[in-house]
Amino acid sequence: MRVIFSGGGTGGHIYPALAVLERLKERNLLDDVLYIGTEKGLESRIIRQKQIPFEAIKLQGFKRSLSLDNLKTLKLFLQSTHRAKKILREFKPDVVVGTGGYVSSAVLFAATQLHIPTVINEQNSVAGITNRFLGHFVDRISIAFPEVATQFPKQKVILTGNPRAQQVAGIQPNQRLSDFKLKTTVPTLLIFGGSRGAERINSAFLAALSELNQKNYQVLFVSGQVHYAKIQTALQDKTVGSNIAVVPYISDMQTVLPDVAVILGRAGATSLAEITALGIPSILVPSPYVTNDHQTKNAQSLVTHQAAEMITEDQLTGATLLKVTDQLMTDPVRRQAMGEQARQLGVPDAADRLIKVMQDLIH
């Protein structure tokens, strides 16, 4: 099939598209592909690095408050819709898939006007503004959290899961911890605030470090590139035990995840797809800086099913970090039970489910 993907701004909107694309190639179902994004978005770098054909359109998001910028946004939307129609007519896709971010609004809207089959994938438990808008026009809406179904026309919604889950579901433990000079036989806590890191999580780690040094478990702490220099300065007058590893970033994080016992981190859609696919117990610290506080709602979905613990950012200190992590890291029975609950929430064939939706639309 000939497929156009559109989504961008953040990795959470890009990686689900890449997961579906990878699976289409594995199943020999892909005849041709084109990715449409913006030059400013993360997608322009990631997609081009993977040598996937890429077209850029110029678009920006709406301001949530009254602003003259919204007049410019509307003008750009109309211009980008016209540009997208030209691209669509030239490429002649069988189906157009949107994975979120304002760039997909013009592309998917243009496709619906040209009567090309369309599907969007909503990865969060609260629908983004772009997907809420597109939900009125597209043919199908695939979702990762059952809770979000009520925010879309009922007859269009299909629960598929986040396609990213299928990319990691089969990864086995591979002793990656030795790369960080940690033991492969000792339970390990991964503290990870996302690709850019999270200042509050980093501060809590520093506050807890002296006691973490004394634990019978290990800690792999990923600070984020932008915070690493500050962390290194803060560590100059502290002792870092042999059971602690501090690194700025891990580019192939998915290969490390099967080797960790517990994850403490954010509650973004991609992270939760990976956690549930692998059945990893987690302590979630939702970012309060995202639209509609959707990370808190994502996290609550796992907490409700006893698949995770949650600490709000304003409650996170060195003391609360130690209390919650100790409860899990010293209780293997509880970790196993929580991991099983997480695995039950995962959708290991999510990419295949979304591909089935695409095939049904074409046929």
Q: Do 71 and 131 share a structural domain? A: yes
Q: Do 295 and 268 share a structural domain? A: yes
> pLDDT at position 10, please?
81
Residue 195, annotated as binding a ligand? yes
**Residue % of the chain over a pLDDT of 70:** 96
Distances (CA, A) of 58 to 10, 114, 221: 16, 20, 38
The CA angle 301-304-309, to the nearest 5 degrees, is 90
Residue 295, annotated as binding a ligand? yes
Task: List, as one string, the DSSP characters of 318-338.
Answer: HHHHHHHHHHHHT-HHHHHHH
Give residue-wise pLDDT tens across range 282-293.
999 999 988 788
Residue 12, annotated as binding a ligand? yes
Give residue-wise pLDDT tens across range 69-120.
656 667 888 899 999 999 999 999 999 999 998 889 999 999 999 999 999 9
Q: Tokens for 29, please give them.
A: 């179902």
Residue 268, annotated as binding a ligand? no
> pLDDT at position 197, please?
82
Q: Do 287 and 215 share a structural domain? A: yes
Helix axes 318-329, 332-345, angle to 10 degrees: 90
Helix (H), strand (E) at residue 50: none
What is the total count of domains within the chain?
2
Closest CA to 20 of 120, 111, 116, 114: 120
Q: Do 127 and 219 share a structural domain? A: no
pTM of the model: 0.88
Q: Do 227 and 105 share a structural domain? A: no
> pLDDT at position 69, please?
65
Q: Do 77 and 153 share a structural domain? A: yes
pLDDT 10s digit of each residue in the chain, 363 long?
A: 999 999 988 888 999 999 999 999 999 999 999 999 999 888 999 999 999 999 999 876 655 555 556 566 678 888 999 999 999 999 999 999 999 988 899 999 999 999 999 999 999 999 988 999 999 999 999 999 999 999 999 999 999 999 999 999 989 998 999 999 999 999 999 999 987 789 999 999 999 999 999 999 999 999 998 899 999 999 999 999 999 999 999 988 989 999 999 999 999 999 999 999 999 999 999 999 887 889 999 999 999 999 999 999 999 999 999 999 999 999 999 999 999 999 999 999 999 999 999 999 998
> pLDDT at position 166, please?
94
Which CATH number characterizes residue 277's domain? 3.40.50.2000
Q: Do 186 and 244 share a structural domain? A: yes
Largest CA distance in the chain: 65
Q: Do 189 and 146 share a structural domain? A: no
> pLDDT at position 75, please?
82
Q: Do 225 and 153 share a structural domain? A: no
Q: Do 329 and 305 share a structural domain? A: yes
Give residue-wise pLDDT tens across range 117-134.
999 999 999 998 899 999
> pLDDT at position 271, please?
93
Q: Do 296 and 353 share a structural domain? A: no
Owning domain of residue 153: 2-168+348-362
Q: Do 138 and 32 share a structural domain? A: yes
Q: What is the 3-state secondary structure (H, E, C) of 195-240?
A: CCCCHHHHHHHHHHHHHHCCCCCEEEEECCHHHHHHHHHHHCCCCC
Residue 10, annotated as binding a ligand? yes
Residue pointed to by tokens 């990762």: 144
- Residues counted in the chain: 363
